[in-house]
Every structure is written in structure tokens, then in C-alpha cells.
């Protein structure tokens, strides 16, 4: 896992999320900027803000998603002082 420390949350990326992030660095800088904006907002206010935060259900209970584009979502879990990014490409699946 990769890590990035902020004032509010330590941010971690699952291997899949990090691979997704690297994909966007190569493929689409506009989408990458949107992802970075969403991650910064999640670090400040993980359950409200931009990207239409949505609490996920069933198999993904405890996780949240935010819209990157119509096709792609940021999926993450926030605990007391940790933000774990699990996906930044495609939609989640339960």
C-alpha cells in the first residue's frame, strides 16, 4: 500500500486503487485532476462534499463512493484517522 499523510487523515491506497491512479496519470490528466480534488475533499470531509458522496450497502457496507465521471467512481473507507482508497476506476460492484 502507498501512503500519503495529511493533517486530518493518513491516506492509503489499495494495490488496485494505486494501479488505477497510475493509469489515470498516463491516460487522462483531466480525470486525474478530478480524482485529486475528490481525494482532498475526502480527507477534509469524508461523508459530505463534492462528487455526491454515497454510503455503499451489502458487500461494500462501510465504504463510500463519489462520482469521478458518469462511468467512474472513487471508492473509499474512512475511519477515525485513516482514509483508504480502494478504487478510482469503473463503478464499484457489490
Active site residues: 54, 91
Alpha helices for 1-94 (secondary structure H): 15-27, 29-44
C-alpha torsion 45→47→51→55, nearest 10: 160
Q: At what angle are helices 15-27 and 29-44 packed, to 10 degrees? A: 140
Check: CB of residue 65 under 8 Å from CB of residue 75: yes
Amino acid at each position: 500500500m502507498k501512503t500519503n499523510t495529511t493533517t486530518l487523515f493518513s491516506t492509503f491506497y489499495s494495490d488496485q486503487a494505486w494501479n488505477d491512479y497510475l493509469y489515470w496519470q498516463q491516460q487522462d490528466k483531466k480525470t486525474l485532476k478530478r480524482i485529486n480534488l475528490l481525494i482532498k475533499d475526502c480527507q477534509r470531509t469524508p461523508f459530505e462534499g463534492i462528487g455526491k458522496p454515497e454510503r455503499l450497502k451489502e458487500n461494500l457496507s462501510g465504504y463510500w463512493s463519489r462520482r469521478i465521471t458518469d462511468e467512474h467512481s472513487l471508492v473509499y473507507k474512512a475511519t477515525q484517522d485513516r482514509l483508504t482508497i480502494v478504487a478510482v476506476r469503473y463503478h464499484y460492484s457489490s
